[in-house]
């Protein structure tokens, strides 16, 4: 039996392939679109059974090539660029493709674990997996929201597991290919190494400089939660996947700078000291993001905990420290 990971050369997908390998699972079909070829680097240290382009894979799947031979599908493939304005492309790539996988998995009774997003909440100030709190601000968020709605309709009659994970702000290893869409921690690390300082947005929406808050979740925790549900095929639903904590962008900057300083044998500094020494710099908030920006997110983990997941999730200080070690090659 195969495990299929779509978006396998991407950020979360590659971490899931690695996590499966660490369990001794190598019969993995990696599915992706390598038009941006550098993503292959995410799989170099992974073991897979085969690689298929996303178009070829769907064609083979729907023609019956994999019938009766798949244990589970981790559907991580999507366009995650929140600034993408081509709605037709976004809906075809994120919604219609996902719907085809859902139909096949329900017919074959194959476990489907897929990536949703906290972008489904958009302008909401409450982050609970309930329809009244969902208000996407961009077409990316809408594409994820609409698929979640279809899943909700299908779940009462589903004979196999379907699990959607609303990822909050994920950061960690194997995201360098994402460019400007990579995490704040990734950009802070590279800014500090290149310029000796990190840059944050000035205040907006009533928040002070760098004080906007997000639920930053480490990708290794994301992989652990996915595997927990893989091990519990009786559990279905849509679940927030964050830490349940809102931490500021200033917190990420402090964690990154101090983790880098630790590698240099230097003592940690406070945010105030970093600002005074020019190690943290605030830049104007971009006009293009006004009205499309979530200044606060915090996952409500009530449903995740009720589903039996009890492990603690990394704080920014813990996750960033580990991530900086990875980025430094230590």
By annotation, the residues acting in catalysis are: 140, 178
Q: Kindly state the tokens that stand for 135.
A: 């208000």
Residue with tokens 């302008």: 123
Contacts of residue 104, Cβ cutoff 8 Å, sequence gap at least 6: 61, 62, 110
Alpha helical stretches, state H, the chain:
11-22, 54-62, 87-90, 97-108, 139-154, 184-195, 219-230, 249-263, 271-276, 302-306, 316-328
d(Cα 61, Cα 3) in Å, to the nearest integer? 13
Q: CA 198, CA 185: separation in Å to the nearest integer? A: 10
Assign 65 to helix, strand or coil.
Answer: coil
Gap between the Cα atoms of 141 and 116, Å rounded = 9
What are the phi and psi torsion angles at 318 (to 5°)? -70, -50
The pair of three-digit structure tokens given for residue 85, joined into one six-digit string: 């304005």
* Distance of alpha carbon 258 from alpha carbon 253, whole angstroms: 8
Distances from the Cα of 233 to the Cα of 49, 102, 105, 150, 224, angstroms: 23, 15, 13, 20, 15
Here the tokens at position 299 are 């996952």
């Amino acid at each position: 039996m195969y495990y299929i990971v779509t978006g396998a050369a991407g950020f979360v997908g590659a971490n899931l392939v690695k996590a499966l390998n660490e369990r001794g699972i190598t019969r993995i079909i990696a599915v992706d679109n390598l038009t941006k070829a550098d993503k292959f680097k995410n799989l170099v240290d992974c073991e897979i059974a085969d690689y298929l382009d996303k178009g070829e894979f769907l064609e083979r799947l729907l023609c019956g090539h994999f019938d009766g031979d798949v244990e589970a599908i981790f559907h991580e493939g999507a366009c995650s660029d929140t600034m993408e304005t081509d709605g037709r492309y976004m809906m075809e790539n994120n919604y219609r493709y996902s719907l085809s996988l859902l139909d096949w998995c329900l017919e074959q009774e194959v476990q489907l674990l897929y990536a949703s997003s906290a972008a489904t909440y958009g302008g909401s100030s409450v982050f609970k997996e309930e329809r009244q709190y969902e208000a996407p601000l961009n077409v990316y968020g809408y594409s994820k929201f609409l698929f979640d709605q279809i899943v909700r309709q299908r779940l009462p009659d589903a004979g196999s597991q379907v699990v959607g994970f609303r990822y909050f702000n994920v950061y960690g290893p194997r995201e360098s290919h994402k460019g400007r869409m990579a995490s704040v921690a990734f950009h802070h690390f590279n800014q500090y190494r290149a310029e000796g300082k990190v840059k944050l947005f000035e205040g907006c929406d009533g928040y002070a400089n760098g004080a906007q808050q997000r639920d930053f979740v480490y990708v290794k925790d994301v992989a652990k939660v996915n595997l927990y549900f893989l091990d519990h095929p009786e559990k279905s639903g849509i679940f927030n996947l964050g830490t349940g904590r809102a931490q500021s962008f200033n917190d990420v900057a402090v964690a990154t700078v101090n983790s880098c300083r630790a590698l240099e044998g230097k003592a940690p500094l406070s945010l105030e000291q970093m600002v005074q020494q020019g190690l943290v710099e605030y830049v104007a908030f971009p006009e293009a993001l006004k009205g499309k920006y979530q200044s606060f997110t915090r996952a409500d983990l009530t449903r995740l905990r009720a589903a039996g997941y009890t492990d603690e999730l990394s704080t920014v200080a813990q996750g960033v420290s580990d991530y900086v070690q990875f980025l430094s090659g230590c």
